[in-house]
Amino acid sequence: MTDQTYCARVFDALAGQLYESYWFLVTEKVVEVRFVMPCTTAVTAFYSKAIQHLACLPQPADLIIWVAEKASSDLTLPRPFWDWTNSNGYGRILAFDEVLYYANYDITSHTFTLLDRASNQALVWTRNVTEQPEWTRSFPFRSLWFDWLRPQGFLFIHAGAVGLPDGRGVLLTGRGGSGKSTSTLACLDSSLLYAGDDFLAVHPATQRVYSLYNVAKLEAGQFARFPQLQPLVYNKATMLTEKGQVFMADHFPEKIINTLHIEAMLLPRFTGQPDTTLRVATTADGWRALVPSTVGLLHSTGDYAHAVADFARPLPTFWLETGTDLAQIPARIINLLQASL
């Protein structure tokens, strides 16, 4: 068997399945997600909750994603023809020609992903969603979308973004624990809108950023600064071992904006002082905050690191030295955006 015949057999098998469809606008592309029936509500919730803010009306899709759970559907996949040792160590299956396909097996979530670029169809086949770590719920389809959108001129970056209702915004970036989520959530009580606090898609040619996921994530200890959010945590049962997740679309749908034009990049850094200040940072500081964690989380290549660096280089970059008075965080950001007019 070859990659081509394997892929053909998979999508032939899917063509005969009953399914339930949902549509989403991802960047500027329409994605139809087809849940293979029978399918539990746990499966549909697992794959759609974090992207519910991107829902759109049924329409012709740029990408069709079939989602099937082994535990609940009757779908049987052809036996793998490849040698599992022929992978890149992160689950990418090298027996598939990467120009034509993306094939990956994520061992943490036991999920097989197969993208056929020619037909713009993909399969996400998972063993059992109830076995998956809760944190994987916060970024469904991330590796698939990344691989599909990259040749179309989009980058995925490890950053948050907030902005004004007029569509101008800032990136908030830094490695885990730097304060991206704290800074983003501090903006909820202001006129600033939320586009994301962890992963975003960007289109460097237009300097636009696109929301992917509406999940705000905080360590248990950080909720002391946001007591009003504590009752809204979705995964209370796993809070001791994982970050707490608050789905913004469930509780603050009016605070979400799906795209922003990026005017500046902010690097949060908690000072412990009362006040929040903005201080000019170097482009090298911006690289350190954005590139290593983006490249590391996406397990991407040197070319991709250059592309992310080139996107960030022209952006005015500032340290956002955050203080204990949370209201000052959005105030500084609003001042910056108004000054950039």
Strand (E) or helix (H) holding 337? helix 328-339
Residue 149 sits in the site that holds another protein (CB under 8 A): no
User: Taking the complex as a whole, how short is the minimal distance between the CB of residue 107 and another protein, in angstroms?
Assistant: 5
User: Taking the complex as a whole, how short is the minimal distance between the CB of residue 285 and another protein, in angstroms?
Assistant: 9
User: Does residue 284 sit in helix, strand or coil?
Assistant: helix
Out of 118, 303, 339, 341, name the contact with another protein by CB under 8 A.
Answer: 303
Residue 95 sits in the site that holds another protein (CB under 8 A): no
- Tokens at 289, concatenated: 């905050």
Residue 323 sits in the site that holds another protein (CB under 8 A): no
User: Taking the complex as a whole, how short is the minimal distance between the CB of residue 340 and another protein, in angstroms?
Assistant: 22
Residue 105 sits in the site that holds another protein (CB under 8 A): yes
User: Taking the complex as a whole, how short is the minimal distance between the CB of residue 72 and another protein, in angstroms?
Assistant: 16
User: Taking the complex as a whole, how short is the minimal distance between the CB of residue 144 and another protein, in angstroms?
Assistant: 18
Residue corresponding to tokens 């209370």: 236
User: Taking the complex as a whole, how short is the minimal distance between the CB of residue 284 and another protein, in angstroms?
Assistant: 4
Residue type, 196: G
Kindly report whether the peptide bond that precedes residue 165 is cis, defined as omega within 30 degrees of 0: no
Residue 11 sits in the site that holds another protein (CB under 8 A): no
As a whole number of angstroms, the distance between CA 187 and CA 320 comes to 13
Residue 204 sits in the site that holds another protein (CB under 8 A): no
Are 139 and 35 contacting, i.e. CB atoms less than 8 angstroms apart?
no
Site string for another protein, 257-296 (x = CB under 8 A): -------------------------xxx--xx--xxx-xx
Residue 290's region, left for phi above 0, alpha for psi from -120 to 50, else beta, is: alpha
User: What do you get for the CA distance between the two ends of the chain, in Å?
Assistant: 59
Sheet containing strand 29-36, edge to edge, reads 19-26, 29-36, 63-69, 121-126, 111-116, 101-106
Q: Which of residues 21-40 bind another protein (CB under 8 A)?
A: none
Stretch that binds another protein, among 105-113, 191-199, 244-252, 333-341 (CB under 8 A): 105-113
Residue type, 189: D
Q: Cα Rg for the chain, rounded, in angstroms?
A: 20
- Tokens at 38, concatenated: 């029978």
Residue 151 sits in the site that holds another protein (CB under 8 A): no
Which residues lie near another protein (CB under 8 A)? 79-80, 84-85, 87, 89-91, 105, 107-108, 110, 112, 127, 175, 282-284, 287-288, 291-293, 295-297, 299, 301-303, 305-306, 309
